[in-house]
Amino acid sequence: MEIYNLYPGSLASNCYVLISNGRAAIIDPSASADSILDFLNKKNASPDCIILTHGHFDHMFSADTLRELTDIPLFVHECDAEHLTDGNKNAFKTFFGRDRTFRPAQRLLRDGDIITVGNVNLTVINTPGHTDGCICLLGDGVLFTGDTLFADSIGRCDLYSGNARKMRESLALLGKLDGKLKIYPGHGDTEMLANALENVSYYY
């Protein structure tokens, strides 16, 4: 398994490409479609899917273009399905005062679902708080945390469907995982899970 961050994406959002056995998943396509596809071509990898860790615009800027160019499906948690088609819910209208929508997802995820990419299995963990449909993706030694957990902070809880109580519960849930997991957050640098949770322990 290889993991690459095509940073910078939109508004400093990380865009991860996971490659296994020549197959790839694009996690939070904030980078341009051209840069993502050029990178995959250089790595001789074929994209299987796009996975959103949640439904905010800055994590899916190139989602529609990628789907048009490759015909691959987009996955998002069922609780964030409407974020793609609603500029208020995906926060674009909040920040820019105008609408921006995206095509609906092809697959709606639930807690416990398994996404297979090459030889890698990613387990979906629903971690509401930043949005109701926030997810983390658990793989072998790695955890994609989206905007639930950063290296030294957490995602804000004051946007549509955000909830501070649920965020605290989600952080406590992550605390039950192996602290040696390497987290790949939606913004900022990677960190060991135990260190990141210690850095934000005052939140929960």
Q: How many Å apart are CA 123 and CA 107, to the nearest integer?
A: 15
| In contact, 115 and 137? CB cutoff 8 Å | yes
| In contact, 75 and 109? CB cutoff 8 Å | yes
Per-residue pLDDT at 156 exceeds 80: yes
pLDDT confidence tier of residue 41, bands split at 50, 70 and 90: very high
The first and second tokens of residue 101, run together, are 């929508």
Residue 110 neighbours by CB distance under 10 Å: 12
- In angstroms and rounded to an integer, the radius of gyration of the C-alpha atoms of the chain is 16
Q: How many Å apart are CA 107 and CA 120, to the nearest integer?
A: 19
**Position of tokens 């210690």?**
198
pLDDT confidence tier of residue 20, bands split at 50, 70 and 90: very high
Which among 48, 65, 47, 49 is positioned nearest to 10, based on CA atoms?
A: 65
Three-point CA angle 33, 23, 187, nearest 5°: 50
| In contact, 103 and 122? CB cutoff 8 Å | no
Q: Which amino acid is present at 43? A: K
pLDDT at 9: 72
Give the mean pLDDT of 85-101. Answer: 92
pLDDT at 121: 98
Q: Which helix (H) or strand (E) holds 19?
A: strand 16-20
Per-residue pLDDT at 202 exceeds 90: no
User: Is 189 buried (19+), middle (13-18) or exposed (0-12) by CB count in 10 A?
Assistant: middle
Eight-state DSSP code of residue 91: S
pLDDT confidence tier of residue 7, bands split at 50, 70 and 90: confident
pLDDT at 146: 98
Mean pLDDT of the chain: 96
pTM, two decimals, is 0.96
